[in-house]
Amino acid sequence: MTIHAQCICALILFTCTSAPPPSLAGPPEPADFYVAPWGDDADPGSFDKPFATLTRARGAVRTLIAAGLTAPVTVLVRDGTYRITDPIILSPLDSGTAAHSITYAAYPNERPVVSGGRAISGWTAQPDGTWTVDIPEAVGGAWPFRELFVDGQRRPRARHPNSGFNRVSFAEPDQRTAIELYEGDLPLSTNLAGAELVFLHDWSISRVRIDQVDHAQNILTTAEPIGAAVFIFAITFFEEHPRYFVENDLALLDAPGEWHLDTATGRLTYRPMPGEQIASIESIAPLIDELLVVRGDFGDDVNPATEQSVTNVHFDGISFEHCEWQLPNGGFAEFQAGFYEWRDTSVPYEFPSAVTFEQVENCSFVNGRVSRVGGWGLMFGRAASQCSVIGNVFTDIAGNGALIGEDRFRNIPGGLWWVVRPDQAASGNIFENNLVEECGKVFLGCVGLWVGLANDTLIDHNLLRFLPQTGISVGNKFDETPTPCFGNSITKNHIHDVMLTLSDGGAIYTVGLQPGTVIDGNLMHSIPPNVGAASSVGVFIDEGSASIKIKQNAFHSIAKSPMKFHIAGVNTVSSNVLLLPNAGVEPFLYFNMDPANIVLSMNDISVVNSPVTCDHSVYDTHFDAGLEQRYLDTLIEPPVQDGCASCAGVPYSGLTLNACSQCNEPEQSCTVPTVSQWGMVTLAALLLIAGTRAAKTACVSANANA
């Protein structure tokens, strides 16, 4: 638990939104225990007298486990929001057995939410159009939250520029702590001391505190080094004029939706969006950095006999939202995919995940939702085996959406864990039919799904979209040294609109020796030109990647190239469909390696000068990539009502749809949807996005933008 959560004495361990019990059409769904917002932890946990908290339900289940399980145990959680100030923690004491499971599930047709946030109220309108509220618990940095959600939407901290980026004019000689600015690029009203510089490297970012801006000299100096201490992260290594923006200074608060917290005084200032009402908005800031932790006993790290896993525990249909991650002392200098230079050893090396499973076997997280979180979304990490992540939504996540396995750096007695105890690798897990979108919202180098040194992972039928960097990343050792990363299957996923901000990644990225790994039957498209130095592609086979089969995938509307190989070993590429946007695009790019390492056969390569729409044959051959129909029907929330988004035309995965009804225009004046440069457009957009045959038959093509 973070220190500031302990300071908020007005909150209890677990609070719920009060509501009367809803009426049921039929008899109660059977369960061993029930939890409800109108419950009481002093009650027995029955349907009529439910518990109020999951923590109390865990205690009741623990009593049954201690007595010896004779049947599966089910806890049903009723609709409502359950606010917590400490994470819910399950240990081997809460474990099922091989014969009997423990399940915490949403009551049928209900959607309970576990929130680590606190509602903020008491706003006062100010003459300059902002709203303010003084938060006693935030005075003196006691609760320095970095995220604010208003009516369910993430709001940006005050920043400049309000959108897009500035460019560095020149780097000072040390290439780490000072940049020269173009005149007029930053407001003259503040020297930005204590604000945050967000600096974009090629595939990663740095977030460091600003010491000051000398406007006379047009020089910004930082209190912490930009970039990790490796030469490639020097300020101008990748580009002569790299991108940056600044945030978290009151003087920058000039756009609707922006906010600023004065950590000294505890005053929160917000500039409302058009139409927001001061008396009715719901504003929430996170209190804690973890929501659910299911973790076994690691023992002594060496002897397997000392370890004890949590087994046969399942979470079904429960949403988790609102948690945070504080920037560590020394700042954030990212290596790759959210893993960063460890400058402050007083905090854990990795981001916290909102939901964590470690040292677990035969556990699952299904039909749930992880959203509005400040670190990583979900992790099945160390020694997670035979577990399933199915039918979930991961969205609005500051860092990586989901992770399976761990990186290579953890030490145990005798050396690195993957050398001494490779059996501690995550193994035999399933990540299937999940929607992963809008991740990397704060830490732009993060990815949709990251799989580290893990083996026999099935990544199947997922939809990944709207990501600043890579969609799926597999591997963590940058050479051909054997590791526990092998036998992973990346199959029938639909990945589009990725690499939207950073460069040198792809829809799918691999690194390191991976015998038995297969990339098969995926549909990848709508990847724009890289803004940084290195190309963004469909599949990127990076350093040391070897023994991988890449087959039967389809690529289209990718600006630079469908596939890129860099210092790669021997891999096979066969029976793929590569639709190139123009004759100047190479189907395969090779860097610092012998192209003969890549064994090519029976690939169908063609140039398609017009946009690829849903009547193209690629949607016949790959109609089953992406979410399967039963998950498509439940996971995709239509972004528009009555087939429209706004009269001005709001892009949605390459769509521009017209919303006459929202602008009081007659229906007949609606314009025909048009195709963006990198996307495709259909009136049945959501079905098409999932790549189903229903989309193929329902969609309507349209002309390209001029």
Comparing 408-417, 590-599, 692-701, the range with the smallest average pLDDT is 692-701
Instruction: Provide the CA 316 distance to its chain's centre, in angstroms.
Output: 20
Number of H helices, E strands in the chain: 7, 63
Q: Pseudo-torsion of CA 285, 288, 292, 297, nearest 10°?
A: 170
Is there a cis peptide before residue 161, judged by omega within 30 degrees of 0?
yes
Decide if pLDDT at 475 tops 50. yes
Tokens read off for 232: 């490639």
What pLDDT is recorded for position 348? 85
> According to the model, what pLDDT value does residue 564 have?
98
- Give the residue with greater pLDDT, 638 vs 35: 35
Q: pLDDT band at 614, cuts 50/70/90?
A: confident
State pLDDT tens for residues 246-261: 999 999 999 999 999 9
pLDDT band of residue 84 (cuts 50, 70, 90) is: very high
What is the pLDDT at residue 25? 65
Single out the residue of 451, 502, 526 nearest to residue 685, CA to CA.
526
Q: How would residue 105 be classed by pLDDT, with cut points 50, 70 and 90?
A: very high
Confirm if 230 and 238 have CB atoms less than 8 A apart.
Answer: no
Give the CA radius of gyration of the chain: 25
Strand partners, 207: 198, 332
Whether the pLDDT of residue 672 is over 60: the answer is no
Strand order from edge to edge, sheet including 131-134 = 124-125, 131-134, 267-270, 259-262
- pLDDT mean over 290-294: 98
Q: How far lies 47's CA from each of 78, 137, 271, in Å?
A: 10, 37, 44
- Which stretch of 2-6, 66-70, 131-135, 589-593 has the lowest confidence by average pLDDT? 2-6
Residues 629, 694 contacting (CB under 8 angstroms): yes
DSSP string, 295-338: E-B-TTSS-GGG-B-EESEEEES-EEEEE--PPPTT-EEEEETT
Which range (54-58, 589-593, 658-662) has the least confidence?
658-662
Name the band, by pLDDT with cuts 50, 70 and 90, for residue 638: low
CA torsion sign, 186 to 188 to 189 to 191? Answer: positive
pLDDT of residue 488 exceeding 80, the answer is yes
What confidence tens digit (pLDDT) does each residue in 317-339 have?
999 999 999 999 999 999 999 99
Who's near 278: CB < 8 A, 6+ residues apart?
Answer: 123, 125, 131, 272
pLDDT at 158 over 90: yes
pTM for the structure as a whole: 0.90
Beta bridge partners of 541: 510, 565
Place of tokens 């369960």: 31
Confidence (pLDDT) at 615: 80
User: Other CB atoms closer than 10 Å to residue 633's CB: what's the count?
Assistant: 12
Contact predicate 177/221, CB 8 Å: yes
Q: Residue 502 has what pLDDT?
A: 98
Whether the predicted pLDDT of 3 surpasses 70: no
509 pLDDT above the threshold of 50:
yes
Four-point Cα dihedral 221, 226, 230, 233, nearest 10:
-110
User: Which residues, including other chains, have CB under 8 Å from residue 407's CB and lie 6 or more apart?
Assistant: 339, 350, 452, 453, 476
Question: Is pLDDT above 90 for 449?
Answer: yes
pLDDT tier, 20 (very low <50, low <70, confident <90, very high otherwise): low
Percent with pLDDT over 90 in the chain: 83
Structure token digits, residue 55: 């923590």
Q: Which of 82, 74, 148 is nearest to 111 (CA)?
A: 82
Answer yes or no: is pLDDT of 224 > 60. yes
Q: Is the pLDDT of residue 195 over 50?
A: yes
What would the mean pLDDT of 502-520 be, rounded to a whole number?
98
Q: Is the pLDDT of residue 674 over 80?
A: no
Burial class (CB in 10 A: 0-12, 13-18, 19+), 56: buried
